[in-house]
Amino acid sequence: MMHAEESSFPMAPAAFPSGPALVPDAPDAGPVRRIPRAVSPGEVPQGAELDHPSLYFNRELGLLDFNWRVLHQATDPRVPLLERVRFLAITSSNLDEFFQKRVGGLRRQLAAGVQTLSLDGRTPRDQLQLISDAALAMHAAMSAIWDHELVPLLRTGAGVVVSRYAELGDAQRAALDDFFREQFYPVLTPLAVDPGHPFPFISNLSLSLAVLLRHRARSTMHFARIKVPTSTGRWIPVPHSEQPFHFVPVEDVIQANAAALFRGMEVVSVAAFRVTRNADVARDDDEAEDLLSMISEELRERRFAPAVRLEVDRHMPPEVRELLVRELELKAEEVYESDGLMDLADCAQLADLDLPAHRYEAWEAVVPEPFRHEGETEEEKNIFSVIRRGDVLLHHPYDSFTSSVLRLLEEAADDPRVVAIKQTLYRTGVDSPVVRTLLRAAERGKQVAVLIEVTARFDEQNNIQLAESLEDAGVHVTYGLVGLKTHSKVLLIVRDEGGRPRTYCHVGTGNYHARTSRLYSDLGVMTCNPQVGADLVNLFHFLTGYAPDQQYERLVVAPRDMRRTFEERIAREIQLQRARGCGRIIAKMNALDDAGIIQELYRASQAGVRVELIVRGHTRLRPGLPGYSDNIRMISIVGRFLEHDRVFYFHNDGDPEIYLGSADWRERNLNERVEVLVPVLDPALQERIVQILHYALNDNRLAWELRSDGEYVQRRADPGEPEVNYQELLMRDALERGRRPGSRPWELSL
């Protein structure tokens, strides 16, 4: 039997002054530290109703707790060194996004006087204070891990040296000074602040240097700002080094040469700082006459949105710090001090170094088994004949996206019998192979219709450019529905076969993005089931025209009927548990925060239904609460690939119903987005999905168990038991299917 481990989490001394105490793992073991947590639920009063705040975790703090689990990967010696650096970079990037979206949204609520309580009973002001406390600890932990753990390990373990300018030899500093004069001096634009020079605009997430100056003749003090350029990258190779990989941060080189920019002035101090701005800009979809124009205007507003965080060098003079706080209209608790480097997201550039021994072993996705057996005639060789032989289940990145989804699109673009291609695009690159294929299909005279969700957060500008390029090629482009974000991942191809149209469909959990298909774990189904095809035809009529009352036979579509479908399936498991004792639900998703679904799951647990949840990110549901969620078990899997698939399994008295698609159990997915789930009908495909879920539930390497108090504890194998790494098992199974078609996966008991 596996058990949960109170996992070691290295921290700098006093990094968490109010954090958890050291806890011994066993009577004879040395002390270890639990992973920190932000959530702090209250005691559940006796007889509490299912909507009582004590039965729920806070969503915002849960997002920070997911980031703690990501940061833990940066400290785990079982993870290759450069991948640990990458996890640190991901943690930093996640925290940036959290401040832009979540803190920005709460700040906006506070400014508007909103007093509405969150599901766990907290006001926006309460949540902002808790976030500030938790984020301070996370900032400190990231700096400590970088300075005291990863930098020394990079030097001793991989021969990668990251130095500060002051640590370099005279010849190296002289060479970098020459580099400054050649590369930076002509480019930099120092901006003074005085009555003739207003305080400069500080762009979001840019790294800057605050320079305090003294006039040599008048002894007056002055302030100037230097924006650190990004053109050279964050890391400058150090000349005359014995190490092949030796770098210094770009801001160090500029800081050391700042006096060259202010001749006649004395440089008193130079300190780095960084500003984060709100990305949660208010908009009124109902009043929008043109979604594209509305989003373009929102992007302009976001650039000048209020600041929500200021990161400063701990040694910045108080008067400079006060000036920044005043000009950016921030409060003291919105300032985060740093002892070392800021913007650790740039460590990703170091993680990309060509040092294979310190990275994950390269993974080459496998051509899915159905597509490896070519027929004899041209018609039998095409992908449509494969799909006609039976539904195809795809699991990326284990199954190749290029050899499946992209191949389907490419063959459709080139097949003279294909008359129409319709697709939703949420996040994809302007120059992606998916887009190039759609352009080719339009050029060849096919009817191509694409719905591009221009409101996809942080991808708006990219999606606007994408829409314009597709429209220029004659593609029918729509931008989504007013008031609803289209998050579904669907592709419909109509092919003329014997004078009659036949539909070929793909419904998935992930975006049509070739790059992320190699990094994200996603599921999809290809089918020519006529009912699914008819449903997708109706869905596209709803998305592109005026058809709000469409009916769907097989697909489950939000916001129309998805919530009702889930509630009915949960209620059925409750009835079956009471009648036969066989109720069971397994669900895998990114996040779980919908109050209605959580209450239905609490009722299922109270009835004795066995509920197993695999939730990668945040959750508001508290598992394991006596009398409420005794029968609910929840894990989070954090590993090499980002768990992004959504799968829902209902036992149904031994005749299981399984759905996969784009929706999490979140209020926004069920109420505010167009989401699509497809039932998995083929018994062989159902068996494969069940095996995937079994692997996840039995994982003792990547899985974190969530306790009722909000603590996540990492599992580990008992002595003598094999380590079960969910993602490695899936890679091994994919390779095994490639070598021996029809082979069965490694069996695990649930």
Residue 447 pLDDT > 60, yes or no?
yes
Is residue 195 very low, low, confident or very high in pLDDT (cuts 50, 70, 90)? confident
Is residue 181 very low, low, confident or very high in pLDDT (cuts 50, 70, 90)? very high
Residue 225 pLDDT > 80, yes or no?
yes
Secondary structure of 433-472 as H, E, C letters: HHHHHHHHHHHCCCEEEEEECCCCCCCHHHHHHHHHHHHH
Cis peptide before 397 (omega within 30 of 0): yes
Look at residue 4 in the predicted model and tell me its pLDDT.
57
Q: Summarize the annotated binding site for ATP as residue ranges.
A: 94, 520, 616, 644
Q: Summarize the annotated binding site for Mg(2+) as residue ranges.
A: 427, 457
Look at residue 741 in the predicted model and tell me its pLDDT.
57
Question: Domains (ranges, CATH) in the chain?
Answer: 77-288+306-360 (3.30.1840.10), 369-551 (3.30.870.10), 558-739 (3.30.870.10)
Question: Phi, psi at residue 668, to the nearest 5°?
Answer: -65, -35
What's the whole-number mean pLDDT along residues 61-72?
A: 97
DSSP string, 675-708: EEEEE---HHHHHHHHHHHHHHHH-SSSEEEEPT
540/36 Cα distance (integer angstroms): 46
Alpha helices in 200-284 (DSSP H): 250-256
Sequence-separated (6 or more) residues with CB below 8 Å from residue 405: 394, 491, 506, 508, 512, 517, 524
pLDDT in tens, 404-445: 999 999 999 999 999 999 999 987 876 789 999 999 999 999
Residue 140 pLDDT > 50, yes or no?
yes
What's the whole-number mean pLDDT along residues 120-134?
A: 95
Question: Phi, psi at residue 435, to the nearest 5°?
Answer: -65, -45
Percent of the chain at pLDDT above 90?
Answer: 78
- Selected residue with higher pLDDT from 364 and 218: 364
Global pTM reads 0.91
Q: Which residues pair with 313 in a beta bridge?
A: 338
Look at residue 199 in the predicted model and tell me its pLDDT.
92
Residue 245: Cβ within 10 Å count: 19
Reply yes or no on whether 487 is catalytic: yes
Sequence-separated (6 or more) residues with CB below 8 Å from residue 465: 430
| Cβ–Cβ under 8 Å, residues 610 and 604 | no
pLDDT in tens, 335-351: 999 989 999 999 999 99
Sequence-separated (6 or more) residues with CB below 8 Å from residue 694: 748, 749, 750
Look at residue 512 in the predicted model and tell me its pLDDT.
95
Q: Which residues pair with 502 in a beta bridge?
A: 495
Q: Summarize the annotated binding site as residue ranges.
A: 94, 427, 457, 520, 616, 644
CA-wise closest residue to 71 among 87, 94, 95: 87
pLDDT in tens, 83-98: 999 999 999 999 999 9
Q: How many helices (H) and strands (E) does the chain have?
A: 21, 30
Residue 16 pLDDT > 50, yes or no?
no
Residues 345-372 as b/e (b if ≥16 CB within 10 A, e otherwise) read bbbbebbebebeebbeeeeebbbbbbbe
387/408 Cα distance (integer angstroms): 10
Secondary structure of 354-371 as H, E, C letters: CCHHHCCCCCCCECCHHH
Retrieve residue 405's tokens: 């989804």
What's the whole-number mean pLDDT along residues 595-612?
A: 99
Retrieve residue 666's tokens: 């979140």
Residue 1 pLDDT > 90, yes or no?
no
| The amino acid at 26 | A
Is residue 750 very low, low, confident or very high in pLDDT (cuts 50, 70, 90)? very low
- Among the listed residues 246, 358, 396, 487, the single catalytic one is 487
Look at residue 293 in the predicted model and tell me its pLDDT.
59
Is residue 528 very low, low, confident or very high in pLDDT (cuts 50, 70, 90)? very high
Look at residue 482 in the predicted model and tell me its pLDDT.
83
Secondary element (H or E) of residue 567:
helix 562-580
Is residue 10 very low, low, confident or very high in pLDDT (cuts 50, 70, 90)? very low
CA 660, distance to chain mean position in Å, is: 19
Which of 301-305, 510-514, 671-675 has the least mean pLDDT? Answer: 301-305
Retrieve residue 6's tokens: 């109170």
Please state, rounded to an integer, the average pLDDT across all residues of the chain. Answer: 90
| Cβ–Cβ under 8 Å, residues 461 and 263 | no
Is residue 14 very low, low, confident or very high in pLDDT (cuts 50, 70, 90)? very low
